[in-house]
Structure 1
Amino acid sequence: MTRYSPAINLDEIVAIDVHTHVEADGQGHHSLDDELMEASAAYFKADQLRTPTLEQIADHYRERRMAAVVFTVDASTETGHPALSSEEIARGAAEHNDVLIPFGSVDPRRGPAAVKRARMLVEEHGVLGFKLHPSLQGFAPNDPAYGPLFETLQELGSIVLFHTGQTGIGAGLPGGRGIKLRYSDPMLIDDVAADFPDLNIILAHPSTPWADSSISIATHKANVFVDLSGWMPKYFPPQLVRAAGTFLRHKALFGSDFPLITPERWLSSFGELGVQEEARRLILRDNAARLLGLF
């Protein structure tokens, strides 16, 4: 078994995308069922369903002198749809460790089995963090039932990337396919950050309609960061642009939400915001490199 170890040369890398989805495996299985995949593509106004393989993702980022954090989401209990293999993602990242960084995903609702699986993914496969999507997975992050999982991830030194705010998954479907947005209120994650102060947490996306909450939490909690994925930067709330360019410049991270938003599209829009060069460098590369232990 090949265990992932990063081989990223920061002298050659201009940006690190901390939010890159693996939507299909080598056998052609998708991360979501067809209805949810189509709803997500429509929400993002994607021209087509885009499901690049891990090798294609690596090539895409290598050609652009970027590195990418890659992951799937295990929401099998809530959705009934089998999750893609985090082990396969870790193995693929190990084969492309010059540009790919693997995060795992576990289904928190599996209780002790999720805790055991998280430990295995770190210790045997070398994943550096975990992606959780409270709305899609159907769980409230501050429920004490999930304390053992977060305690274990803190012990392992893992990073947890939480989806926050609005989601394109289920958007426009009756009842949003039962997906409850309130589970992705970042204030629920503030409880996790307070109770597990050595657990590094990334709040993904502008957190609409709770952007101010995420800014406040990242300002208050040393162990909380924000990624800027899922929206074109020209649509960011003004207060987020100000915070990322000034007092949160050491805690804001570049993320695209690839493949629905490509890094080149995101960066083109980001360039129109007028962010100063120091903050731009921190956001695009250095903050992520430090958080991921690449320095």
Structure 2
Amino acid sequence: MPVDPTKVTAIDMHVHAEVSCHDPEDPVMAQYFDAASAYFKADRKRPTIPETIAYYRQQNIAFCLFTVDCESGIGAKRISNYEVAELAANDSDIVIPFASIDPRKGKYGAREARDLIENYGVKGFKFHGIMQDCHPADRVAYPIYEVIAEYGLPAIFHTGHSGMGTGMRGGGGVRLKYGQPILVDDVAVDFPDMKIILAHPSWPWTDESLSMALHKENVFIDLSGWSPKYFPKQIIQYANSQLKHKMLFGSDWPLIRPEKWMEAAREAGFREEILPLLMKDNASRLLELS
């Protein structure tokens, strides 16, 4: 059965699947996990997908689950989108499957996107230009976007700084420029039927995300990847006012735990009446759960 928003306390828009049930951890990706764990001061051990589902069920939080396909960008073998979707299907009352397809897979990637939507119940997509080493508006990705837009599904785009590669030699080859939110603006214009979610507070380009969410009807912001106690002040200001229906709760599990994020959010300065929108109601509407 699909997620019933009335039966969960929150909807986490940003949860990573980083361990396959079938394949060992990729040695290339392991280097980035080492760096990210050090940056976030988080446990290096990555939970399996079943462990993640059990944790969120215990917390009574629904969540969007995805991996990141960066096979071309950094040469790391991805976790299969089909594995994510099949495991999510067993717990569809709490898990919302998203997929990630390397933009450079172009038309072949578009075939996979359509199959995942039509036959495996995938409800959205995740792109990470920094790790995929690809400008978000590179035309190579447009066949994939066309499929997403055709079905009116959301796509999450990483924005801002990245813990992936932080501290590694040469940043692990990761180019932060592809995390600049305004690079996604062309995508928002060219695909007005695709719901675009700018992930994270987008530092050091926070104001670009806020501007885009104000300007574009189809652009939203998920506030994952940072504890709310560290948010730039303008995030709180706009969440409490003009963007109260555009902001979404996201944790960035497993590097940030959802209950810790929610606890910090209650002390961050959000108005009391804004918290239900942020934690669940906005995501429920965006995902068409209600």
CA contact (8 A) 1:30 1:84 kept: no
Pairs within 5 Å for 1:258-277: 258-277=253-272
Corresponding residue for 1:249?
244
Task: Find out whether 1:100 has 2:95 as its counterpart.
Answer: yes
Task: Find out whether 1:185 has 2:156 as its counterpart.
Answer: no
Counting aligned pairs with the same residue, the percent is 45
Provide Cα deviations, 1:196-230, integer angstroms capped at 9, x if missing partner: 11110000000011000000000000000000000
Corresponding residue for 1:3?
none
Provide Cα deviations, 1:157-209, integer angstroms capped at 9, x if missing partner: 22100000100001001110110011111101011001111110000000011
Count of residues paired in the alignment:
289
Task: Find out whether 1:41 has 2:33 as its counterpart.
Answer: no
Corresponding residue for 1:116?
111
Change (3 A) 1:293 1:237: same
Q: Could you tell me which amino acid in structure 2 is paired with residue 148 of structure 1?
A: P
240-249 or 201-210, larger mean C-alpha shift: 240-249
Task: Find out whether 1:215 has 2:190 as its counterpart.
Answer: no
Pairs within 5 Å for 1:70-149: 70-149=65-144
Query: How many Å separate the matches in 1 of 2:113 and 2:183?
Result: 21
Task: Find out whether 1:229 has 2:219 as its counterpart.
Answer: no
**Residue 166 of structure 2, aligned match among 164, 168, 171:** 171
Look up the SS of the partner of 1:110 in the other structure: helix
CA contact (8 A) 1:103 1:130 kept: yes
State the 1:264 CA deviation. Answer: 1.0
Q: Could you tell me which amino acid in structure 1 is paired with residue 86 of structure 2?
A: R
CA contact (8 A) 1:50 1:260 kept: no
Query: How many Å separate the matches in 2 of 1:184 and 1:12?
Result: 35
State the 1:106 CA deviation. Answer: 0.6
Query: How many Å separate the matches in 1 of 2:245 and 2:116?
Result: 29
CA contact (8 A) 2:65 2:95 kept: yes
Query: How many Å separate the matches in 2 of 1:246 and 1:119?
Result: 37
Query: How many Å separate the matches in 2 of 1:229 and 1:50?
Result: 20
State the 1:28 CA deviation. Answer: 5.0
State the 1:235 CA deviation. Answer: 0.4
Look up the SS of the partner of 2:266 in the other structure: helix
CA contact (8 A) 2:72 2:102 kept: yes
The runs of 5 or more residues in structure 2 that have no matched partner are none
Look up the SS of the partner of 2:267 in the other structure: helix
Q: Which runs of 4+ in 1 moved over 4 A?
A: none
CA contact (8 A) 2:222 2:247 kept: yes
Look up the SS of the partner of 1:183 in the other structure: helix
State the 1:126 CA deviation. Answer: 0.9
Query: How many Å separate the matches in 1 of 2:257 and 2:24?
Result: 22
TM-score after normalising by structure 2:
0.97
State the 1:7 CA deviation. Answer: 2.2
Corresponding residue for 2:22?
27
Query: How many Å separate the matches in 2 of 1:291 and 1:11?
Result: 15
The runs of 5 or more residues in structure 1 that have no matched partner are 1-5
Query: How many Å separate the matches in 2 of 1:88 and 1:129?
Result: 15
Task: Find out whether 1:284 has 2:279 as its counterpart.
Answer: yes
TM-score after normalising by structure 1:
0.95
